Structure 1
Amino acid sequence: MSGTKLFRLFSFIIIICSTINVVEANDLKEDFSRPQSIPFPASNPYTVEKAALGKMLFFDPRLSRNRNMSCATCHNPSFGWEDATQTATGSQNTRLDRHSPTIINAAWGERFFWDGRAGSLEEQAKGPIESDVEMNLPLEEAVARLKQVPRYNDWFSRVFGSEGISGDTIAKAIATYERTIVSGQAPFDRWVNGDEQAISNVAKRGFDTFVGKGKCASCHTGWNFTDQKFYDIGLSGEDEGRYVLTDKPTDKFAFKTPSLRNIGQRAPYMHDGRFKDLKSAIRHYVSGGISRASLSEKMMPVVLTESDISDIEQFLLSLTGTDSAVSLPLLPY
């Protein structure tokens, strides 16, 4: 074969390979494309008034026994809808065992809390209000308290009609508001949509490592970067996670895969807030975790360099969106 023909053959192979890589990259990007609308359940459809009422309740300390805590105490919009402390602080300054999970993109959730004990956002909304170590206010007392507020009576009548104020309508309003809390458009999203300048080359390498040899996307999947499942990732400690609920040996030390959206705002990390920064969290996965019977089969040592870890960190930081400022509501009186 002549040199000219050989050159043309090599050029053709390079073009074909490049085309395949572009197609594969575009297909991969589509797996992480944002949805176009927020899903609301038929049993609790969205209305503007219901979300507005839910926002008032979310920020209202009157839903706690001592009138000194609200949902926003642990789910602060300034800290990625978490609270920036290692573990949450509950009633009477009680230090809790777990870090406050974010409520960002909760509309797409399947089960809630780190151990998945709530099957809906409505069920989740009731939990902290009644928990004796959190807001510590039985729902019947919360209902009686709100009924003493004339304008809350007006709001509940407007939104729920004759059903008025009840434990269920309180939960429905809060859950509706929580479903509207969606991470804003992030640099990563602009890159997915075709803007090659939206993220750095370092972040692009980090994405390649994240979905490739790092194997991070085996659990952190889809646009919200979570498969909604529960795994033992080999962390030390006595908290047995989902096992306490299910009594299944495979659920020992298992906790929910968190979303990675706005992750740069949400330190510290893990269910117990043990890691202060993203690199520390990534290094744990690289190590493969503690070897034990319940350890997820997805957990195994991964060969990554410090440069790889830095690249993944930069990719993760590109998932933080430009969110609108959250204004405090005027509470009914």
Structure 2
Amino acid sequence: MRAILPIPVLIAWAMVVCGGAYAVTTCSGAATATADASQQDLAALKARFRRPESVPHPKANPLTPEKVALGKALFFDPRLSRSGSVSCATCHNPSLGWSDGLTRAVGFGMVPLPRRTPPVLNLAWGTAFQWDGRADSLEAQARMPITAPDEMNMSMDLVVERLKAVPGYAPLFRNAFGSEEPIGARHVTAALATFQRTLVSGEAPFDRWALGDESAIGADAKRGFALFTGKAGCAACHSTWRFTDDSFHDIGLKAGNDLGRGKFAPPSVTAMRYAFKTPSLRDLRMEGPYMHDGQLGSLEAVLDHYIKGGEKRPSLSFEMKPFEMSERERRDLVAFLETLKAEPAAITLPQLP
């Protein structure tokens, strides 16, 4: 991390004296102008992280209640897996923040996988999916775990065959897509993607503060926000209302054989080696694990990693530079991160056909 997006404090204004070249009538007037300017800047910075008013859905796969209902049933249906015992919700459990709480995911046959299960919240605004970004849409992503041999280990043809054998699915697909023969692979992925786009974080204390409620978060969290957007440089990558830039960075973690985004880049593009997608910090689980492979087990370990600047190698992000942080600053930063947590939305499990 490096210092980026700092809150300008306009020190020159603070040093205005009566009779100086920039004096504003009186000393008290200068102080007022300084405060007003700082407040305006803070308001502009808050606006960068303000949650949007609506959820985007692509024209090629518009939102309908019927499609959401179908997608929800499919998301929780273990018949989409070869074993008949694993659903999307097995790993993306709503009671565990739409993840599984494990250091690394467990796949078909209880085989440990090399990466952690990412939450599926707020994906409607995403531009690249999976830790390495190999899916360019939620529709494309929905197919991947189903057909991956080490995950649900199915073919889409077999998925369609199984669903057609369940009488109760025919009306659900017909209501969602309106055709006489609607049960096809593209309908399955379209419904799953539509349902996932409805999974959106609720309003967090930070959101209320961003809209002007000064009592929504404490003074420690406000100092933490200044650190997040300033000295600590977190906002260099954890930007926008979701606190992610949807991009890929090598942050200097202990490297193994997983090249991340670098697997799909030409060998000459060294910046993508060991680069993984910036995770959102919304509804961050305070107990870990963290990073794409769960190698950091606590927030303290995460802070230590960034403060030290990561392992040095050619692909290391230029944002990764060592810096100092006091114990109070560490506490303030954690206090800010806690304000990004919303009350979990109640979800009713679907009655499967």
Range of TM-score over shorter length:
over 0.9
Corresponding residue number in structure 2 for 1:228: 246
Task: Report the equivalent of 1:158.
Answer: 175
Q: What is the alpha-carbon distance in structure 2 between the residues aligned to residue 183 and residue 295 of structure 1? A: 31
Instruction: Name the structure with the higher helix share.
Output: 1
Asked if 1:141 corresponds to 2:162, the answer is: no
Q: Which residue of 1 aligns with 2:50?
A: 33
Residues 54 and 174 of structure 1 are in contact (CA less than 8 Å); yes or no, is this contact kept in structure 2?
A: yes
Q: Which residue of 2 aligns with 1:51?
A: 68
1:62 aligns with 2:79: yes
SS of the aligned residue for 2:26 comes to helix
Structure 2 equivalent of residue 174 of structure 1 = 192
Q: Structure 2 CA distance, aligned partners of 1:17 and 1:141?
A: 67
Q: CA contact under 8 A between 1:84 and 1:266: conserved in structure 2? A: no
With the length of structure 2 as denominator, give the TM-score of the two structures.
Answer: 0.90
CA contact (8 A) 2:287 2:299 kept: no
CA distance in 2, matches of 1:135, 1:206: 41
- C-alpha spacing 1:4/1:164, structure 2 compared with 1 (3 Å): closer
- Percent identity between the two aligned chains: 47
Could you tell me how far apart the structure 2 residues matched to 1:81 and 1:281 are? 21
Aligned with 2:322: secondary structure?
Answer: coil
CA distance in structure 2 between the aligned counterparts of 1:265 and 1:309, rounded to whole angstroms: 14
Matching residue's letter, 1:164: P
> Which residues in structure 2 correspond to 1:1-333 (within 5 Å)?
9-162=26-179, 163-238=181-256, 239-247=258-266, 248-264=269-285, 267-332=288-353
Deviation at 1:245, TM superposition (A): 1.6
CA contact (8 A) 1:279 1:310 kept: no
Distance 2:304 2:197 in 1: 32
Contact 1:80 1:265 in 2 (8 A): no
Q: Distance in 2 between the 1:278 and 1:319 partners?
A: 15
131-140 or 71-80: bigger deviation: 71-80
Aligned partner of 1:311: which letter?
D
* C-alpha separation in 2, matches of 1:54 and 1:135: 17
C-alpha RMSD of matched pairs (Å): 1.7
| Cα separation, partners in 2 of 1:104 and 1:266, compared to 1, 3 Å | farther
Q: CA deviation at 1:25?
A: 0.7
Question: What is the SS of the residue equivalent to 2:202?
Answer: coil
CA contact (8 A) 2:287 2:297 kept: no
Task: Point out where structure 1 has 5 or more consecutive residues left out of the alignment.
Answer: none
Q: What's the TM-score, normalizing by structure 1?
A: 0.96
1:161 deviation in Å?
Answer: 2.2
Query: Quick one: which amino acid aligns to residue 85 of structure 2?
Result: N
Paired amino acid for 1:127? M
Query: Deviations 1:161-212 (Å, cap 9, x if unpaired)?
Result: 2251111100000000000000000000011111111111111110010001
Q: Partners in 1 of 2:330 and 2:253 — Cα distance?
A: 19
Whether the aligned pair in 2 keeps the contact of 1:130 and 1:137 (CA below 8 Å) is yes
How many equivalent residue pairs?
330
**Within 1, Cα distance between the matches of 2:18 and 2:296?**
58
Q: 1:323 Cα deviation (Å)?
A: 2.8
Q: Distance in 1 between matches of 2:54 and 2:242?
A: 14
- Contact 2:252/2:310 (CA < 8 Å) preserved in 1? yes
Deviations 1:237-284 (CA, angstroms, capped at 9, x unpaired):
212111112233221000001111001367211000122222221221
Query: Letter of the aligned partner of 1:296 in structure 2?
Result: S
Cα distance, 1:286 vs structure 2: 1.2
Q: Partners of 1:33 and 1:23 in 2: how far apart?
A: 15
- Output the amino acid matched with 2:227: T
Q: CA–CA distance in 2 between the matches of 1:285 and 1:243?
A: 22
CA contact (8 A) 2:252 2:312 kept: yes
CA distance in 1, matches of 2:286, 2:36: 37
